Amino acid sequence: MLWLKIQRQLDIKHWTLVRLAKESNVNYETLKKYKFACQEPSFSKVCKIADALGISLDELR
């Protein structure tokens, strides 16, 4: 699942969802939906998250 890969990167960086929201410019409530409601993010949101985490999109595949 995509969120598990994102969560692994958050754990490595010791980031919270709040920090990811600030760094990626993706709304905190939206990130919570991805994590807890198992909603899939749009491609543009995945790009923002990957950029904020400093990883390539391939790492999230």
Coil, strand or helix at 29: helix
pLDDT over threshold 90, residue 44: yes
Report the pLDDT averaged over residues 13-41. Answer: 96
Stronger pLDDT, 38 or 18, i.e. the higher one: 18
Report the pLDDT averaged over residues 53-59. Answer: 96
What pLDDT was estimated at residue 53?
98
Positive or negative: CA dihedral 43, 1, 17, 58: negative
Contact partners, residue 55, CB within 8 Å, separation at least 6: 9
**Structural domains present in the chain:** 2-60 (1.10.260.40)
Residue 35: name the closest of 12, 13, 14, 6 by CA: 6
pTM more than 0.75 = yes
pLDDT over threshold 90, residue 45: yes
Report the pLDDT averaged over residues 40-51. Answer: 97
